[in-house]
Amino acid sequence: AVLLTSCQALSAHGHTCRPLRLTQLRAATESAPTSECGMSPSRKPILVIGATGRLGSAIVQKLSSRNIPYRCLVRPKSPNFERIQGLSGGQIFEGDLANPQHVEAAVSSGGGISGCICVSGSFRKTKMSDVLLPWRWSNNKKGKDTTHPYIVNHIGMQNLCKSVDDYNQCHEKIKIVKVSGVMLSLPRWHHINILGNMIYSGVLRWHRAGERDIIDSGVPCTILRPGSFRDDKEYGHLKKGMQIVEDGALKPSLRVKKPLIGKDDLTEICIDCLKFQDDIDGRILYPRWILK
Protein backbone atom coordinates (compact mmCIF):
# COMPACT_ATOMS: atom_id res chain seq x y z
CA ALA A 1 0.00 0.00 0.00
CA VAL A 2 1.15 3.52 -0.75
CA LEU A 3 2.13 5.44 2.37
CA LEU A 4 0.70 8.92 2.77
CA THR A 5 1.91 11.59 5.14
CA SER A 6 -1.15 12.34 7.27
CA CYS A 7 -2.52 15.84 6.80
CA GLN A 8 -3.65 15.70 10.44
CA ALA A 9 -0.13 15.09 11.64
CA LEU A 10 1.19 18.36 10.24
CA SER A 11 1.84 20.44 13.33
CA ALA A 12 1.24 24.16 13.63
CA HIS A 13 4.88 24.67 12.63
CA GLY A 14 4.76 21.99 9.94
CA HIS A 15 7.39 19.59 8.69
CA THR A 16 6.88 16.75 11.18
CA CYS A 17 4.43 14.07 10.20
CA ARG A 18 3.63 10.41 10.76
CA PRO A 19 3.06 7.90 7.95
CA LEU A 20 -0.51 6.68 7.60
CA ARG A 21 -2.02 4.28 5.14
CA LEU A 22 -4.48 5.88 2.75
CA THR A 23 -7.25 3.51 3.87
CA GLN A 24 -6.70 4.52 7.49
CA LEU A 25 -6.79 8.18 6.59
CA ARG A 26 -10.12 7.70 4.86
CA ALA A 27 -11.61 5.52 7.61
CA ALA A 28 -10.74 8.09 10.26
CA THR A 29 -13.10 10.59 8.66
CA GLU A 30 -15.99 8.44 7.49
CA SER A 31 -18.43 9.58 10.21
CA ALA A 32 -19.66 13.00 9.10
CA PRO A 33 -21.77 15.30 11.31
CA THR A 34 -25.32 16.21 10.40
CA SER A 35 -26.07 19.74 9.26
CA GLU A 36 -28.81 21.99 10.64
CA CYS A 37 -31.21 21.00 7.87
CA GLY A 38 -30.81 17.33 8.82
CA MET A 39 -28.87 16.34 5.70
CA SER A 40 -25.56 14.59 6.12
CA PRO A 41 -22.86 16.72 4.44
CA SER A 42 -21.34 13.52 3.04
CA ARG A 43 -24.46 13.02 0.89
CA LYS A 44 -24.38 16.48 -0.55
CA PRO A 45 -22.42 16.59 -3.80
CA ILE A 46 -18.81 17.64 -4.04
CA LEU A 47 -18.40 20.47 -6.53
CA VAL A 48 -15.58 19.84 -9.02
CA ILE A 49 -14.44 22.84 -11.06
CA GLY A 50 -12.26 21.99 -14.03
CA ALA A 51 -13.90 18.57 -14.32
CA THR A 52 -13.16 18.05 -18.02
CA GLY A 53 -9.39 18.37 -17.63
CA ARG A 54 -7.03 15.44 -17.12
CA LEU A 55 -6.96 15.72 -13.34
CA GLY A 56 -10.54 16.93 -12.95
CA SER A 57 -11.98 14.04 -14.96
CA ALA A 58 -9.92 11.58 -12.90
CA ILE A 59 -11.39 13.07 -9.71
CA VAL A 60 -14.92 12.80 -11.09
CA GLN A 61 -14.35 9.19 -12.14
CA LYS A 62 -13.02 8.39 -8.66
CA LEU A 63 -16.05 9.97 -6.96
CA SER A 64 -18.41 8.14 -9.30
CA SER A 65 -16.74 4.77 -8.66
CA ARG A 66 -17.21 5.28 -4.90
CA ASN A 67 -20.84 6.37 -5.24
CA ILE A 68 -19.99 9.80 -3.84
CA PRO A 69 -22.35 12.40 -5.33
CA TYR A 70 -20.65 15.14 -7.30
CA ARG A 71 -21.49 18.25 -9.26
CA CYS A 72 -19.45 19.69 -12.12
CA LEU A 73 -19.26 23.26 -13.35
CA VAL A 74 -18.17 23.06 -16.98
CA ARG A 75 -17.97 25.56 -19.80
CA PRO A 76 -20.68 25.29 -22.45
CA LYS A 77 -19.48 23.13 -25.35
CA SER A 78 -16.39 22.03 -23.47
CA PRO A 79 -14.16 20.16 -25.96
CA ASN A 80 -13.36 17.40 -23.45
CA PHE A 81 -16.86 16.82 -22.11
CA GLU A 82 -16.77 13.16 -23.19
CA ARG A 83 -14.31 12.46 -20.34
CA ILE A 84 -17.11 12.73 -17.78
CA GLN A 85 -20.11 11.93 -19.96
CA GLY A 86 -22.15 8.92 -18.88
CA LEU A 87 -20.76 8.64 -15.35
CA SER A 88 -23.27 7.94 -12.59
CA GLY A 89 -24.04 10.00 -9.50
CA GLY A 90 -23.28 13.42 -10.94
CA GLN A 91 -24.87 16.71 -11.89
CA ILE A 92 -23.59 18.90 -14.72
CA PHE A 93 -23.89 22.68 -14.46
CA GLU A 94 -22.99 24.56 -17.61
CA GLY A 95 -21.45 27.87 -16.71
CA ASP A 96 -18.38 30.04 -16.46
CA LEU A 97 -16.21 31.01 -13.50
CA ALA A 98 -16.23 34.54 -14.89
CA ASN A 99 -19.99 34.76 -14.24
CA PRO A 100 -20.82 35.17 -10.51
CA GLN A 101 -24.40 33.95 -11.05
CA HIS A 102 -23.19 30.70 -12.60
CA VAL A 103 -20.82 30.05 -9.71
CA GLU A 104 -23.47 30.86 -7.10
CA ALA A 105 -25.91 28.45 -8.75
CA ALA A 106 -23.31 25.66 -8.78
CA VAL A 107 -22.57 26.18 -5.07
CA SER A 108 -26.05 26.80 -3.65
CA SER A 109 -28.58 25.00 -5.87
CA GLY A 110 -30.39 21.87 -4.73
CA GLY A 111 -29.46 22.08 -1.06
CA GLY A 112 -25.85 23.06 -1.62
CA ILE A 113 -22.60 21.10 -1.65
CA SER A 114 -20.34 19.39 0.89
CA GLY A 115 -17.09 20.84 -0.46
CA CYS A 116 -15.31 22.10 -3.56
CA ILE A 117 -12.30 20.77 -5.43
CA CYS A 118 -11.01 23.34 -7.89
CA VAL A 119 -8.54 22.16 -10.52
CA SER A 120 -9.42 24.76 -13.15
CA GLY A 121 -6.94 27.01 -14.84
CA SER A 122 -6.46 28.80 -18.12
CA PHE A 123 -3.30 27.90 -20.01
CA ARG A 124 -3.28 29.76 -23.28
CA LYS A 125 -0.55 31.38 -25.33
CA THR A 126 -0.15 35.12 -25.28
CA LYS A 127 -1.99 36.89 -28.07
CA MET A 128 -1.03 40.17 -29.68
CA SER A 129 -4.34 41.58 -28.45
CA ASP A 130 -3.23 40.94 -24.85
CA VAL A 131 -0.56 43.58 -25.35
CA LEU A 132 -2.30 45.97 -27.73
CA LEU A 133 -5.86 45.68 -26.34
CA PRO A 134 -5.46 44.88 -22.61
CA TRP A 135 -8.96 46.12 -21.78
CA ARG A 136 -10.34 43.05 -23.56
CA TRP A 137 -9.34 40.91 -20.58
CA SER A 138 -8.62 43.35 -17.74
CA ASN A 139 -12.14 44.69 -17.15
CA ASN A 140 -15.70 43.44 -16.92
CA LYS A 141 -17.05 44.94 -20.13
CA LYS A 142 -19.23 42.90 -22.42
CA GLY A 143 -17.20 40.98 -24.97
CA LYS A 144 -14.21 40.42 -22.71
CA ASP A 145 -11.92 37.46 -23.38
CA THR A 146 -13.00 35.00 -20.67
CA THR A 147 -10.23 32.53 -21.56
CA HIS A 148 -7.48 34.83 -20.25
CA PRO A 149 -5.76 33.60 -17.04
CA TYR A 150 -6.62 36.93 -15.37
CA ILE A 151 -10.32 36.07 -15.72
CA VAL A 152 -10.14 32.33 -15.00
CA ASN A 153 -7.37 32.09 -12.41
CA HIS A 154 -7.93 35.40 -10.59
CA ILE A 155 -11.46 36.78 -11.09
CA GLY A 156 -12.88 33.26 -11.18
CA MET A 157 -11.38 32.49 -7.76
CA GLN A 158 -12.82 35.71 -6.36
CA ASN A 159 -16.27 34.67 -7.63
CA LEU A 160 -15.88 31.20 -6.14
CA CYS A 161 -14.78 32.52 -2.74
CA LYS A 162 -17.67 34.99 -2.65
CA SER A 163 -20.23 32.26 -3.39
CA VAL A 164 -18.74 29.84 -0.85
CA ASP A 165 -18.48 32.55 1.81
CA ASP A 166 -22.14 33.53 1.27
CA TYR A 167 -23.13 29.87 1.51
CA ASN A 168 -21.14 29.41 4.72
CA GLN A 169 -22.99 32.27 6.41
CA CYS A 170 -26.19 30.22 6.69
CA HIS A 171 -25.06 26.60 6.28
CA GLU A 172 -22.44 24.29 7.67
CA LYS A 173 -19.08 25.55 6.49
CA ILE A 174 -17.66 23.97 3.38
CA LYS A 175 -14.08 23.94 2.22
CA ILE A 176 -12.20 24.67 -0.99
CA VAL A 177 -9.30 22.47 -2.08
CA LYS A 178 -7.41 24.31 -4.81
CA VAL A 179 -4.83 22.54 -6.99
CA SER A 180 -2.24 24.75 -8.69
CA GLY A 181 1.35 23.61 -9.22
CA VAL A 182 4.77 23.35 -7.67
CA MET A 183 6.21 25.89 -10.14
CA LEU A 184 4.41 28.64 -8.22
CA SER A 185 6.88 28.16 -5.38
CA LEU A 186 9.68 29.64 -7.50
CA PRO A 187 10.57 33.31 -6.90
CA ARG A 188 8.83 35.82 -9.18
CA TRP A 189 12.14 36.78 -10.77
CA HIS A 190 13.07 33.19 -11.71
CA HIS A 191 13.63 32.72 -15.44
CA ILE A 192 10.93 30.02 -15.65
CA ASN A 193 8.41 32.39 -14.07
CA ILE A 194 9.36 35.21 -16.44
CA LEU A 195 9.27 33.03 -19.57
CA GLY A 196 6.08 31.28 -18.53
CA ASN A 197 4.28 34.57 -17.94
CA MET A 198 5.53 36.02 -21.22
CA ILE A 199 4.52 33.01 -23.32
CA TYR A 200 1.33 31.98 -21.55
CA SER A 201 -0.51 35.23 -20.78
CA GLY A 202 0.85 35.68 -17.25
CA VAL A 203 -0.49 32.29 -16.19
CA LEU A 204 1.78 31.88 -13.14
CA ARG A 205 1.16 35.45 -12.01
CA TRP A 206 -2.61 35.00 -12.06
CA HIS A 207 -2.48 31.50 -10.54
CA ARG A 208 -0.55 32.99 -7.63
CA ALA A 209 -3.10 35.80 -7.34
CA GLY A 210 -5.91 33.22 -7.29
CA GLU A 211 -4.24 31.32 -4.44
CA ARG A 212 -3.97 34.56 -2.48
CA ASP A 213 -7.63 35.37 -3.18
CA ILE A 214 -8.70 32.05 -1.65
CA ILE A 215 -6.49 32.31 1.45
CA ASP A 216 -7.37 35.97 2.11
CA SER A 217 -11.11 35.31 1.75
CA GLY A 218 -11.24 33.53 5.10
CA VAL A 219 -13.03 30.54 3.55
CA PRO A 220 -11.74 27.16 4.86
CA CYS A 221 -9.22 26.07 2.26
CA THR A 222 -6.15 24.06 1.43
CA ILE A 223 -3.85 24.87 -1.50
CA LEU A 224 -2.06 21.95 -3.14
CA ARG A 225 1.06 22.50 -5.21
CA PRO A 226 1.71 18.97 -6.47
CA GLY A 227 4.62 17.77 -8.48
CA SER A 228 4.15 17.12 -12.17
CA PHE A 229 1.58 14.33 -12.30
CA ARG A 230 2.17 11.16 -14.25
CA ASP A 231 0.31 8.02 -15.23
CA ASP A 232 0.60 5.66 -12.26
CA LYS A 233 0.88 2.57 -14.49
CA GLU A 234 3.83 4.06 -16.36
CA TYR A 235 5.78 4.33 -13.09
CA GLY A 236 4.35 1.19 -11.48
CA HIS A 237 7.70 -0.59 -11.55
CA LEU A 238 9.34 1.99 -9.26
CA LYS A 239 9.37 1.68 -5.48
CA LYS A 240 7.90 4.86 -4.11
CA GLY A 241 6.14 6.39 -1.16
CA MET A 242 3.94 9.44 -0.80
CA GLN A 243 4.73 12.59 1.12
CA ILE A 244 2.90 15.84 1.83
CA VAL A 245 5.07 18.62 3.26
CA GLU A 246 4.83 22.34 3.83
CA ASP A 247 8.44 23.12 2.93
CA GLY A 248 8.42 21.63 -0.55
CA ALA A 249 9.22 24.78 -2.52
CA LEU A 250 11.61 24.40 -5.44
CA LYS A 251 15.04 25.87 -5.00
CA PRO A 252 15.71 28.70 -7.50
CA SER A 253 18.58 27.02 -9.32
CA LEU A 254 19.20 27.35 -13.04
CA ARG A 255 18.14 23.74 -13.58
CA VAL A 256 14.88 22.99 -11.85
CA LYS A 257 13.90 19.34 -11.54
CA LYS A 258 10.20 19.05 -10.82
CA PRO A 259 9.07 16.36 -8.38
CA LEU A 260 6.57 13.79 -9.65
CA ILE A 261 3.27 12.42 -8.40
CA GLY A 262 0.82 9.86 -9.75
CA LYS A 263 -2.52 11.08 -11.05
CA ASP A 264 -4.41 8.47 -9.02
CA ASP A 265 -2.53 9.39 -5.86
CA LEU A 266 -3.24 13.07 -6.40
CA THR A 267 -6.97 12.45 -6.84
CA GLU A 268 -7.00 10.57 -3.52
CA ILE A 269 -5.28 13.46 -1.78
CA CYS A 270 -7.70 16.04 -3.21
CA ILE A 271 -10.71 14.09 -1.93
CA ASP A 272 -9.18 13.36 1.47
CA CYS A 273 -8.11 16.98 2.04
CA LEU A 274 -11.79 17.97 2.01
CA LYS A 275 -12.28 15.95 5.20
CA PHE A 276 -9.86 17.97 7.30
CA GLN A 277 -10.58 21.48 8.53
CA ASP A 278 -8.44 22.99 11.28
CA ASP A 279 -5.25 20.98 10.81
CA ILE A 280 -4.57 22.07 7.23
CA ASP A 281 -6.80 25.12 6.89
CA GLY A 282 -5.19 27.99 5.01
CA ARG A 283 -2.00 26.06 4.26
CA ILE A 284 -0.05 25.49 1.08
CA LEU A 285 1.00 21.84 0.83
CA TYR A 286 3.30 20.00 -1.56
CA PRO A 287 2.30 16.38 -2.33
CA ARG A 288 4.90 14.30 -4.15
CA TRP A 289 6.32 10.87 -4.63
CA ILE A 290 9.38 9.75 -2.71
CA LEU A 291 11.36 7.42 -4.97
CA LYS A 292 13.18 4.71 -3.05
Helix (H) or strand (E) holding 291, with range, is: strand 283-291
For the stretch 150-171, pLDDT in tens is 889 999 999 999 999 999 999 9
Q: Is the pLDDT of residue 23 over 50?
A: no
* Residue 6 confidence class, pLDDT cut points 50, 70, 90: very low
Report strand pairing: 221-224 vs 115-118: unpaired
Q: Decide: 56 and 64 in contact? Cβ < 8 Å.
A: no
Note the pLDDT of residue 229: 81
Q: Rounded to the nearest 5°, which phi and psi values hold at 75?
A: -65, 145
Considering the chain, what is the average pLDDT of its residues?
Answer: 79
**Closest to 53 in 3D by CA, of 229, 191, 222:** 229
Residue 46 or 237, more confident? 46
Residue 27 or 201, more confident? 201
For the stretch 65-84, pLDDT in tens is 999 999 999 988 788 888 88
Q: Is 23 exposed, middle or buried (0-12, 13-18, 19+ CB in 10 A)?
A: exposed
Please report, for residues 132, 192, 268, the alpha-carbon distance to residue 164 in angstroms, rounded to integers and kept in the order given.
35, 33, 23
For the stretch 81-126, pLDDT in tens is 888 888 888 899 999 998 999 999 999 998 999 999 999 988 788 8
Note the pLDDT of residue 237: 73
* Residue 29 confidence class, pLDDT cut points 50, 70, 90: very low
* Residue 202 confidence class, pLDDT cut points 50, 70, 90: confident
